[in-house]
Amino acid sequence: MDRIKQLCAFLEKCESFADVACDHGYVAQYMLRNGLCKRAVVSDISDKCLSKARDLLSDFINAGTCRAVCCDGLEKIEKDTDFVFIAGIGGEEIIRILKNGFIPEKFLFQPMKNSDKLRLFLLENGCFLEKDDFITVGAKYYFVIKGKRGAFQSYTSAELAYGKDSLHNPKFHAYLKSELAKKRSYLSSNLSAENRLEIERQIWRMEEVLESEIN
């Protein structure tokens, strides 16, 4: 829940809100309870998962301010929805959802992996990333990407890899050092020459970022 609470701090007031791959529906509940949206929709590809959100949001559903739809991504979400939230799935999966659906007017994404690929996709499709940082829950790090459609923005390779705001986060140095330690430990494994070369490249890149962006 601590991850969800921190993500809610990035949300903003809107007319209509969608929580895609909603699981329990806590974020839509937060938006509705606090009067941050007039109507909300929660969706999940699993009806079993969606049933938990239906139970949690039953009062809002009965009042007509929320609806629950079982669908793949944005399939049954109106394209004029003001703000779309997607969290807890991979960056490549979020890209697939956006490609098959639409890029929202405003959005907050929390990819579990491949955040760099998601940043690149958003930037290449005319999005402005207003907040591109990470949150921490214990020893875990989660990238958070908040933005909107329709504005050009340039990124350096380091910003693309880790997020424009992440590089100035006081905890970034510790994050990158922990990632470096993981990558170096992989080198002691029985790797193919191709995989070893790729990990060595990643280590070199991380060391370069530490030197150029942090010090």
pLDDT per residue rounded down to tens, the chain (215 residues):
699 999 999 999 999 999 999 988 999 999 999 999 999 999 999 898 899 999 999 999 999 999 999 999 999 999 999 999 999 999 999 999 999 999 999 999 999 999 999 999 999 999 999 999 999 998 899 999 999 998 788 999 999 999 999 999 999 989 999 999 999 998 888 889 999 999 999 899 888 888 875 55
What is the spatial distance between Cα 176 and Cα 183, in angstroms, rounded to a whole number?
A: 10
pTM for this predicted structure: 0.92
- The whole-number pLDDT of residue 150 equals 85
Contact 100, 72 (CB under 8 A): yes
Q: Compute CA 104 distance to the chain's CA centroid, rounded to the nearest angstrom.
A: 14
DSSP labels for 185-212? HHTTS---HHHHHHHHHHHHHHHHHIII
- The whole-number pLDDT of residue 208 equals 87
- The whole-number pLDDT of residue 189 equals 87
Contact 112, 130 (CB under 8 A): no
Tell me whether strands 127-137 and 16-20 are parallel, antiparallel or unpaired.
unpaired
Tokens standing for residue 173: 């140095």
